[in-house]
Amino acid sequence: MTENAPDRARTRFPGISSRAYEHPADRSALVALRSLSGFDVVLRKLSGLINERALRLMFLGGTVRVGEDQFRNIYDMVRDASYILDLPEVPDLFVKQDPMPNAMAIGSDHPFIVLNTGLIDLLDDEELRFVVAHEVGHILSGHAVYQTMMQILLQLGSRLAWLPLGNIGIAAIIIGLREWFRKAELSADRAGLLAGQDLDAAKRTHMKLAGGTRLTEMSSEAFLAQAREYDAAGDVRDGLLKFLNLLPQSHPYAVIRFAEIDRWAKGGEYERILAGDYPRRDDDGDASVTEEIRNAAKSYRESWERTADPFVGKVRDMADAAAGAAGGLFDRFGGRRDTGPTDSSN
């Protein structure tokens, strides 16, 4: 267990489960995957197709590993985030010379973080703390492991492209996985806020990722209004174009992430976690797949009700029916093995 305390007073969350901050659509997928007997073993075998040892040696040889004597401030950030979120092991973090502002968590047995210099140059210390904690959140949730599946399928899809309809099935799965991973990014943003405990820094991060360093030329109120304008779109055609634009994206757009973290921070759940009211990882085995599927359906339904997007309005009824059918399917075929609570009224 991590023993180092953070460099300034922040609330710590002993034994916190990643379910505390995960977006319902992300959480339902993870709970379902974790409930499958032997799934982690199979996935780790598949992970072997991407050589983690070779990746680690590549970064060890070609980047800078943070520590007591290298990028000490970033080393303190990853220690602090691991301490606050009670991660059992502080992950290695490598700084890579790359002007593209990006970061990632990769690996399965011992996941590690890679931080591009473009991101370090773009952000101040509190914004960078949010990003580092975001990646620690990915590791605590197991996203670094499960994302491997998508990488394998991407490789498999390119190999099957010559087969009639072979690539179509893989592409459909990848579309679904990308939708899940976009929700996983929202989960990790929440983890970043929980560890950094600075909402303004989290919001500034997304503004800088969209518009660069000149914050004096930007306004958080105007950026939030821009998010609302994007959500409302113009007509059904614009809504369809947004949908098509988003399909190949691994991350939600910056204005959406800004609006989502602002809404989550002000919605009461963040304050409850700060007050110590959160699920513990010791209880993860009791999590109900059926309940989490219902929570995911409820979350999508609430987001559809909030949105002003006319395209979403056209498909809302059809999607509601599909979500209800999925819930009924899990009730019928999963109920005998699902011993968790089924009351989703909370």
Catalytic residue positions, numbered: 135
**What phi, psi does 288 have (nearest 5°)?**
-90, 125
Map tokens 């799934």 to a residue: 39
Residue 35 and residue 289 in contact, taking contact as beta carbons nearer than 8 Å? yes
3-state secondary structure 262-324: HHHHCCCHHHHHHCCCCCEHHHHHHCCHHHHHHHHHHHHHHHHHHCCCHHHHHHHHHHHHHHH
> Taking the CA of residue 133 as centre, how many other CA atoms within 13 Å lie in the half-sphere pointing to its CB?
30
Host H or E run for residue 305: helix 289-306
Residue pair 289/340 in contact (Cβ under 8 Å)? The answer is yes
Please give the Cα distance from 111 to 147 (Å, whole number).
Answer: 12
- What would the two tokens of residue 300 be? 């999508």
The number of CA neighbours under 13 Å toward the Cβ of 283 is 13
Please enumerate in sequence order all residues whose Cβ is within 8 A of that of 224, keeping only pairs 6 or more positions apart, or say none: 258, 259, 262
Cα–Cα dist 244/238, whole Å: 10
Sequence-distant (≥ 6) Cβ neighbours of residue 61 within 8 angstroms:
none
Residue 249 burial (CB count, 10 A):
13
